[in-house]
Amino acid sequence: MNKWEKCQKRFPHRTSLTAEETNHISIFFTDHFAATDKGQRFLFAYFEEIVLWSAGPKHPWRYLEDNDPISEELLTAKYLDKEYITDLQMLQGTGQYEGKEVKYSTTRNCWTYLNNRTVHFHGTSASEIPDSPGDDDTARIEEILERTDTIVSSAIQKLQAISRPTSPAIQASTHPRPTQTSSLPTPPVSKGKQPAPVPPRTRTPTFRSSAQASTSQGPVQAPLPQPAAP
């Protein structure tokens, strides 16, 4: 059991930190918690295998083993190129470089601007480190991806609108229905005579019936002459 585990066991009733207390935690602290001892609230932190404690945001950090305050040099020892930074906030890891706001990245171990681009200091080794698209251009890449998604979605919607088939009602209106010609039966034809003309169609049912009856009986024969009386 290391020193930090012993400290946690000593204060089993641990609580999370408030927003003000969080600002009192260094970005290099690997672990921390708050606890109450004898009615007073304390903060505890683990830093470089050292257990520290503090009475609160307005109080300094001290070694747990002897209560000596930790030096500013130790709290800022892990900042590279800190001599170029003005208004350095040693706990939050923020400051200014040439009038621009900068912050320290513990994952990349270098100073960056607020848009995540690497700060290049003149005459330092940091200026020789090339930018990595995955690190420095994260914000720009995310913006490009968002634009691409919007363009692709718009294009898909347009293609779907063009390729969508026309509804049956619209198709029926755009293609006129061909005119159907009626086919009437041809009346029987007598030998040696021309076929009788097709009677015209009429909407009067009585006339149609009589026309069909006359047509079915064949051509009308003229009456034979009667013999004269003696």
Range name among 37-51, 65-79, 153-167 with the lowest pLDDT average: 153-167
* Average pLDDT of the segment spanning 44-52: 95
Residue 190 reports pLDDT greater than 60: no
Pairwise CA distance, residues 230 & 224, whole Å: 19
Pairwise CA distance, residues 138 & 134, whole Å: 6
Res 67: pLDDT: 94
pLDDT, one tens digit per residue, over 54-89 is: 999 999 999 999 999 999 999 999 999 999 999 999
* Whether the Cβ atoms of residue 93 and residue 103 lie closer than 8 Å to each other: yes
pLDDT, one tens digit per residue, over 86-112 is: 999 999 999 999 999 999 999 999 999
Q: For the whole model, what pTM was predicted?
A: 0.53
Res 145: pLDDT: 72
